[in-house]
Amino acid sequence: MKRFVVMVAVAALWTAGGTAAAKSVAKVPDVVDAEAFMKGVEAELMSLWIYQSRMDWVRNTYITDDTEALGARANEAVMEFVGRKGAEATRFDAIRARMPAELKRKFDLLKMSLDMPAPRDAGKRAELAGISTSMDSLYGKGRYCSKRQGGKCLNLVEMTELLAKNRDYDDLLDVWQGWHKVSPPMRPSYLRFVELANEGAKDLGFRNLTEVWTSRYDMPPADFQAETDRLFEQLKPLYQDLHCHVRAKLVEKYGADKVPPAGPIPAHLLGNMWAQEWSNLFDMLAPEPGAAGAIDLEAALKTRKTDERAMVRYGEGFFTSLGLPPLPDSFWVRSMFTKPADREVVCHASAWDVDQKDDLRIKMCIQVNEEDFTTIHHELGHNYYQRAYNKLSTLFLNSANDGFHEALGDLIALSVTPKYLKELGLIDREPPESLNPLMKRALDKIAFLPWGLLVDRWRWGVFDGTIAPERYNQAWWDLRLKYQGVAPAVPRSEDDFDPGAKYHIPSNVPYTRYFLAAILQFQFHRAVCRQAGHKGPLHTCSIYGNKEVGARINRMMEMGASRPWPEAMKALTGEERMDATAIIEYFAPLHAWLKERNKDRKCGW
């Protein structure tokens, strides 16, 4: 996940005071004035970001009523400052056309690079900060005490582990239902959150929060939404064939009375709390069961007595093999690698740049398994991106767009190939060519695509009012059926709040970035593999150890948010448009195999 996104509010309308006579003699601002104004804003904003990051680190790694209050106060301080400065900034609108491109971009980013705009009213601003903090902490403290598990009270990490490895239908359903009991108490808070955030968006000059979120991609909001639709349509046939095959195997496992042969898949049976990634079902889905191509990375790590810190060292080693410097010593002292036994924490993996310079950290409750091995490579991608652009101006301290930040780490994870694992000594030899690795990756990457799209499709509808509060839960499941072909195995009602059972909803983290990252990582991968001179199928390419490619990646990362994202993409790939054909090329051998297996099946739902 990208570093904690600063939640700030900017007012869009500046009301000039004074009489008409006073206005007539007021100094008309020029570009020099605008530059001086922005310099002051960035300097103070940097201080506030650091203050907020430190407070939020403590709140995430030591959840108490006190740290919640401190986190809310920090968020409110940032919102107040940027709201006030945003209002003042409108006096430079008249000279916008004369501003240098870099300065103009900063004024735009001040307004648009925001996830939670707050109302101007101080009381409402404090209320919004408090709601945001309390929902986030409620999620982090979530527990379910299961009778089927002997009355044990399970946290999300433990429930995730059970869903990954248990195959008992009723055990899975019990845990799935249990976790989804955590979120209904959030529902009233979320309704109020939407009201307040939309009010803040209107103060910015936007119609609603949807328009704020979709305005940050160097294209009109409507064009961006159409672009995401175009990309998904490119990939839908591959997803539908994967869904068809997985469903057929689940029918074999559980029977047609529990898994409808021509309908949606029950949401609790896919090895993941949200059915967003299905690789935990690989044992029943391997194209070549028992083949040497099926690498058990978890077993290899545990055989070598790999601990959590050593897992992170493997990830760091990939980046240093590309010619990038090691992580700072403070990273190893200040990061959270395991869940503390003495307190509540937010275990959801995230990467942090606490001082916007060298205080890089990750926060994870690492499990020694393949999923977290990959996640570590992803999170360190954020850290290396953060360090690459840390010399830029304050408002440029971000990736070209938020999808780039997510894609960079995943680009590295695509190089976790048998060849790479052999070089690390985790396997003794590369296995013969097999479809098994492709299937395992497809169960993560292809299965994720509709989920990556629908989370914000739901929020966009909530924010713009097309999804009314009395339909929140129904609309959620309508979208999951439409895009994923997934449905709940037990009745759901508006007394439930199933969207809140996913971290990014109560924490208000935009999600379309992950969908974009799913596209971009393969586009990046194809480009760097061509640059590396790779021969052979795209899925066999690893850039591990290629310093020339590392230098090219670093040049792109160093651009931060200083230029429109098509320019950053061109710097790395030579292309200026997002393109899903790289995914189609990557998985082509598996797709052909799936089509053959599905030829006598009724696909779709």
Residues noted as catalytic = 348-349, 378-379, 382, 406, 504, 514
CA 78 – CA 409 distance, rounded (Å): 28
Indicate the SS3 state at residue 351.
strand
Helix (H, G, I), strand (E, B) or coil at 438: helix
The radius of gyration computed from the CA coordinates of the chain, to the nearest angstrom, equals: 24
- Residue 200 φ/ψ, nearest 5 degrees: -65, -40
152-154 and 360-363: which strand pairing?
A: unpaired
Per the CB < 8 A criterion, the answer to whether 264 and 487 are in contact is yes
* Number of neighbouring beta carbons within 10 Å of residue 23: 10
- Which has the closest alpha carbon to 315: 246, 243, 383, 221? 383
**Cα–Cα distance measured from residue 471 to residue 494, given in angstroms and rounded to the nearest whole number:** 7
210 neighbors 194 (Cβ within 8 angstroms):
no
With residue 328 as reference, give the H or E element that holds it.
Answer: none
Structure tokens at 22: 């006073």
| Cα angle value 526/371/431 (rounded, 5°) | 65
Antiparallel, parallel or unpaired: β 350-353 and 360-363: antiparallel
CB atoms within 10 A of CB 194: 18
Q: How remote is the C-alpha of 263 from its chain's centroid?
A: 29
Place of tokens 């989370």: 455
172 to each of 247, 478, 479, 489, how far by Cα in Å? 17, 22, 23, 11
Q: Cα(154)–Cα(146) distance, rounded to whole angstroms?
A: 7
Q: What would the two tokens of residue 579 be?
A: 């393109």
Asked whether the CA dihedral 455, 242, 225, 108 is positive or negative, the reply is positive
C-alpha atoms less than 13 angstroms from C-alpha of 320 in its C-beta half-sphere: 10
CB within 8 A of 558, min separation 6: which ones?
A: 388, 389, 391
Which two three-digit tokens encode residue 572?
A: 């790395």
What contacts 79, CB < 8 A, 6 or more positions away? 7, 8, 9, 116, 118, 125, 128, 129
Number of H helices and E strands in the chain, helices first, is 24, 6
* 221-254 vs 588-598: helix crossing angle, rounded to 10: 50
3-state secondary structure 224-240: HHHHHHHHHHHHHHHHH
